[in-house]
Amino acid sequence: MIRVEDLHRHFGGFRAVDGASLTIRKGSITGLIGPNGAGKTTLFNVIAGMLPPTSGEVYMDGHNITGLPPHELFQRGLLRTFQLAHEFASMTVRENLMMVPAGQTGETLWNAWFRRGQIAREEAELRQRADDVLDFLTIRHLAHERAGNLSGGQKKLLELGRTMMVDAKIVFLDEVGAGVNRTLLGTIGDAIVRLNKERGYTFCVIEHDMDFIGRLCDPVIVMAEGKVLAEGSAAEIMKNEDVIEAYLGT
Ligand code: ADP
């Protein structure tokens, strides 16, 4: 689904991504691991259109998507989750979900005046869709909570929920487990697996928790010093001597 070819992203003379090549198979939950500073986040940023590459190519379903802006990638179903922006923190969880889909009729003043019936219908549909997402993620009870009051793990679930409000095909998830308690991490993991199995989402996940990676991800891609060091099942990766050395060396 995604093919990255000889990708470079340099910052001045520093090679954060230094000739990385990898593929993300359609229907997979691919893990991306590696020591701090390996270039994982920079690679994500280039794939998701946040940063132009210094050189190299990114393909999605055979189409060259290198350097496309995030909104065009979004239309193609490529999404990267982000921590909640400040301006959304004071809105409720349900409102945050309802904000996501673009192209609602109510957006222009003209439409707002002449097509009030349609707008009300669309809003009711959107609310229903948001509630379905909340049910799927088992957080319906948080519908009226201000997003800024959520715990770290609940915010991650909301980020996942936002991808469900549009037709995502591939989702890039950054540091799913950072600051998230075990129970909630289990819930997030379950949601990822169900989205993958029931809705056909492909995932690429950066995560440090090896239990989580081992439970969810196949294959696992290991980066070090801006390059892909190894790829395989979690069990294979953990036995790989180059990988062990890369982690011990930091
Ligand atoms: P990882 O996510 O694997 O920890 P990053 O992609 O965040 O790695 O960073 C890789 C390296 O690139 C780090 O040494 C980091 O300091 C450097 N880096 C990342 N972004 C920038 C930037 N905007 N300017 C300069 N250096 C950067």
Distances (CA, A) of 179 to 152, 154, 185, 198: 6, 11, 10, 28
> Which tokens is 214 given?
């081992």
Q: Which ligand 1 atom is nearest residue 51's CA?
A: 23
pLDDT digits (tens, 9 = 90+) for 142-178: 999 999 999 888 988 998 998 888 878 999 998 888 7
CA dihedral 143, 149, 152, 157 (to 10 degrees): 10
* Ligand 1 probe mutation, 11, 17, 22, most atoms within 8 A of CB: 11
Distances (CA, A) of 31 to 7, 97, 173, 174, 223: 18, 26, 10, 10, 11
pLDDT digits (tens, 9 = 90+) for 66-113: 999 988 998 899 998 866 666 588 899 999 999 877 554 555 666 666
Q: Which ligand 1 atom is nearest residue 34's CA?
A: 3
Q: Give residue 37 CA to ligand 1 midpoint distance, Å.
A: 6
Distances (CA, A) of 99 to 86, 130, 190, 238, 245: 14, 10, 25, 41, 45
CATH for the stretch 2-77+167-248:
3.40.50.300
pLDDT band at 249; cut points 50, 70, 90: confident
Q: Which ligand 1 atom is nearest residue 39's CA?
A: 6
Report whether residue 9 contacts ligand 1, using a CB cutoff of 6 Å: no
Report whether residue 37 contacts ligand 1, using a CB cutoff of 6 Å: yes
Q: Give residue 21 CA to ligand 1 midpoint distance, Å.
A: 18
Report whether residue 38 contacts ligand 1, using a CB cutoff of 6 Å: yes
- Provide φ and ψ at 46, rounded to 5°: -70, -45
List, in order, residues 6 or more apart from 212 with CB less than 8 Å away: 176, 177, 185, 189
Report whether residue 42 contacts ligand 1, using a CB cutoff of 6 Å: yes
Report whether residue 49 contacts ligand 1, using a CB cutoff of 6 Å: no
**Cα 149 from chain centroid (whole Å):** 22
Q: Where are the domains of the chain?
A: 2-77+167-248, 86-154
What's the DSSP call for residue 83? P
Task: Count other Cβ atoms within 10 Å, centred on residue 100.
Answer: 18
Residue type, 81: T
Global pTM reads 0.89
Give the pLDDT of residue 114. Answer: 67
Q: Give residue 224 CA to ligand 1 midpoint distance, Å.
A: 12
Expressed in angstroms, the distance from the first to the final Cα of the chain is 32
Residue type, 29: I
Q: Which ligand 1 atom is nearest residue 11's CA?
A: 25
* Ligand 1 probe mutation, 42, 54, 225, most atoms within 8 A of CB: 42
Report whether residue 153 contacts ligand 1, using a CB cutoff of 6 Å: no
pLDDT digits (tens, 9 = 90+) for 116-145: 777 778 888 899 999 999 999 999 999 999
Residue type, 186: G
